[in-house]
Amino acid sequence: MRKILASLLLSGLAFAEAVPRADNPEQAYADSFKKRFAADLRHPPESEARLNKWFRDDKFGVFIHFGAYSPLAGQYKGNPMGGPYAEWAMMAFRIPLKEYREEVVSKFNPQEFDADEWARVFKETGMKYVVITSKHHDGFALFKSGVTDYNIVDGTPFQRDIIKELEQACHRHGLKFGVYYSQAFDWSEPGAPFPEQEAIRQIHPDLPADFEANDKTMAEYLAKKSYPQLEELMKNYKIDLLWFDTPASMKPEQGRRFLEIVRRNNPDCVVNSRLLYWPKEEWKPEQLEFFDYVSLEDKEVPPHKLSLTTESPDSVSTSYGYKVHGPVRYHTLQEIIHRFVHTVCGGGNYLLNFGPMGNGQVDPKALGLFQGVGAWIQDNGESIYGTQPNPLPARPAWGDANLSKDGKTLYLHVMKWPADGKLLVEGMPAQATEASFLSPKAANAKIAFVQKGPNLHLTLPGAALDPNDTVVKVSLAEPLQSAAKN
């Protein structure tokens, strides 16, 4: 188990530099994907059927990291957190469980939380599904649980079931609803795996001297808490997606038990790959029965279409939980739109996270970014939902490209506007018959073009219609299909 934890930590550290250092970082990045996604990998038919119900077409979800750590915002007793993740506060400050319950959990009271308001914001941003932390690594449940009173209804003055209220609001608004559940890490349980061994006794100072965490204590923790809470979630809520995270020391038979609970309660529920596997894996055919789609690394964007269906868990900032203290940086709207569009043109889903503030409101910086994305989606959603990935031989230097579901329309995402107005599309797999802007603001403006074999030359106006991504719609003489490129 120690070895697995060590390798988890190493991958955690590798994460800190998501783009590998090299003379040509983009090439190194693409090469790492080539190693991880062999060209002949295929999801089993059951996963194909589940993914085709909604997940593949919906493309865009919201990820929510909300918990007792949210009011801390990356600071405890006046000390700011050094690390990137505000949701790691209990571990970063080595807060003993008893103190965490008294000082953090029993003060969690997000009075402004309004599930309908959140759902309305998500819809206006263009998000189609929601994934919220039902239990993060601190072990605290955001739902009513009979397994332990260490949950929002029984352990806080708030006493309301956030998972229930949000599940119902999402379904009322036509959004799919998923939960994040930290199945292995649970810092309220000394028998569960810890990222660093000395943390066990710092967080649980009253442990008997002969206590030793091992495979047996892990199995006991799973049987006592993890499996029963997953059963509660699947029985008491309508769950469309299960997002497991951080598979430290999990065994295949334990993964099978989790999957059995999910599938028995809802055979259509989509499951991510972090039940047993950290994303830096080189995927093997025998692993594919344990998940429906691959969760890429935290904040990782695919370089091109991959042989398996993926989702990029991105965030509006460098943290997932709400963080204002210590190091933190928010993305610009342009960065978010580019990361979103590159993800979708790479055939993946984009799961954009924000951390609600301790009072339960969406923080103003996240809200501003959401409004910007929503405005862009309003004009350009046709180039996102239900699309196929980039059918060109490579990602163009000026942006990216993708294809409509029927294969008859190529969308050119122009992110770097050409100074002379001349845009070259190389490797056109079919003849262009018409070109126009996708935005209704310029829908009647026809774009002049000339195609010589695989080279399509377009003449664009002097200035970009949209400073972040102007979408040009190109009709094709014959329909295309996008194929995996690695």
* Sites of contact with ligand H79 (CB under 6 A): 9, 12-13, 15-16, 83-85, 87-88, 195, 245-246, 298, 313, 320
Q: What is the DSSP string of 74-86?
A: TEETTEEP-SS-G
CB of 413 to ligand H79, least distance (A): 26
CB of 248 to ligand H79, least distance (A): 9
CB of 30 to ligand H79, least distance (A): 23
Quote the DSSP letter at residue 206: T
Taking the least distance from each CB to ligand H79, the nearer of 13 and 419 is: 13
The two tokens of residue 67 are 């918990």
Taking the least distance from each CB to ligand H79, the nearer of 108 and 417 is: 108
CB of 10 to ligand H79, least distance (A): 10
Give the integer Cα–Cα distance in Å for 285 and 289.
8
User: In a 3-state reduction of DSSP, which class is residue 136?
Assistant: coil
Q: How many helices (H) and strands (E) does the chain have?
A: 15, 17
Beta strands 455-459 and 448-452 are antiparallel
Give the integer Cα–Cα distance in Å for 306 and 95.
41
Taking the least distance from each CB to ligand H79, the nearer of 319 and 409 is: 319
Q: Answer for the pair 85, 375: CB distance below 8 angstroms, yes or no.
A: no
Taking the least distance from each CB to ligand H79, the nearer of 313 and 399 is: 313
Taking the least distance from each CB to ligand H79, the nearer of 186 and 298 is: 298
CB of 122 to ligand H79, least distance (A): 18
CB of 5 to ligand H79, least distance (A): 11
Give the integer Cα–Cα distance in Å for 342 and 350.
9
Q: Which helix (H) or strand (E) holds 470?
A: strand 470-476
Q: Answer for the pair 83, 93: CB distance below 8 angstroms, yes or no.
A: no
Taking the least distance from each CB to ligand H79, the nearer of 88 and 150 is: 88
CB of 362 to ligand H79, least distance (A): 18
Q: In what order do the strands lie in the sheet with 455-459?
A: 422-425, 455-459, 448-452
Phi, psi of 411 (to 5 degrees): -100, 125
CB of 11 to ligand H79, least distance (A): 7
Measured between its terminal Cα atoms, the distance across the chain in Å is 33
Q: Answer for the pair 301, 312: CB distance below 8 angstroms, yes or no.
A: yes
Select the residue whose beta carbon is closest to ligand H79 and give its number.
12
CB of 16 to ligand H79, least distance (A): 6
User: In a 3-state reduction of DSSP, which class is residue 23?
Assistant: coil
User: In a 3-state reduction of DSSP, which class is residue 258?
Assistant: helix
Taking the least distance from each CB to ligand H79, the nearer of 84 and 399 is: 84
Taking the least distance from each CB to ligand H79, the nearer of 278 and 376 is: 278
Taking the least distance from each CB to ligand H79, the nearer of 5 and 38 is: 5
Question: How many CB atoms lie under 10 A from the CB of residue 357?
Answer: 20
Evaluated on CA atoms 37, 40, 41, 47, the torsion sign reads positive
